Structures are given as C-alpha cells and as structure tokens.
Amino acid sequence: MGWWRLPFSEQLDGLTCPLYLLHAHIGYMIFANFANETNKWLVYVVAFLAVILCSYLLGELVEVRAKTFWYRAFTWAVGRPITAMSARISALRLRLLGHRSRKPRARGGDPDLAHSTVS
C-alpha cells in the first residue's frame, strides 16, 4: 500500500497534536456558554469548526513557521549544556585512563603474567 496516498494526509497529521490539546477546552467553553436544547446541533458544528481552525493555526504558527526558532532555542538550552558535559566527561575519562597507563610496572615484566604458570 506504499503507492496509495491519502490526499491531505500530511496536513491532517499535523492537526492531531494541537487537536488533542485543544478539543476539550474549546469544546467545553463553547458548550457551557452557548449550547441549549434548541441549538445544540448548530453549536456542535460551530465547536467542531472552531477546534479545527484553532488546531490548524496553532500547528501552522507554532510548529511549522516557528520551527527554526524552536530548533535554535532547544539547541541553546539543551544541546549546549549536553555538549559541554560530554566534553568534560570525555576529558575526565582520558585523564583517568592516561593516569592509569602511567603506573609503574612491577619488576620482572608484565604484571598480568606474574601469576600465570608456565609449563
């Protein structure tokens, strides 16, 4: 089914997260303030359209158009400290491993072979 694509599937996929975050809040506000028995179907349609429109705007403005801003902000706030910590850990490891390799060797050759039995 890789050859079969749904039209607008990528746009609809972009609506799922904002839709999930907004549907209960906007729907509850609209139903609580405007719905009654005589106009409930009209309010359903208006609430549906309002949630879809807000989801689209939120997804477009925050996720798509501000993508470079978020990338730079997270790189600065998270990436730089992690890179700095990683560099310090690597330097510390090298210093510790370098310190171990400079230990004086035991007399008589390799200390690992000192306890081995030779036949």
Could you report the per-residue pLDDT of 73-95, keeping only the tens digit for each?
Answer: 999 999 999 999 999 999 898 88
Helix-helix angle 9-34:40-58, to 10 degrees: 130
Q: What is the pLDDT at residue 69?
A: 92
Supply the pLDDT for residue 95.
86
Amino acid 101: pLDDT: 56
Q: What is the DSSP letter of 62?
A: I
Question: pLDDT at position 111, please?
Answer: 54
Predicted local distance difference test score (pLDDT) of residue 22 = 84
Listed in sequence order, the residues at least 6 apart from 50 whose beta carbon sits closer than 8 Å to its beta carbon are: 26, 30
Residue numbers in the chain where pLDDT is lower than 50: 119
- Enumerate helices (H) and strands (E) in the chain, giving the number of each: 4, 0
CA dihedral 30, 33, 35, 36 (to 10 degrees): 170
**Predicted pLDDT at 2:** 65
pLDDT for the residue numbered 115 = 53
Token duo for residue 27: 């729907």
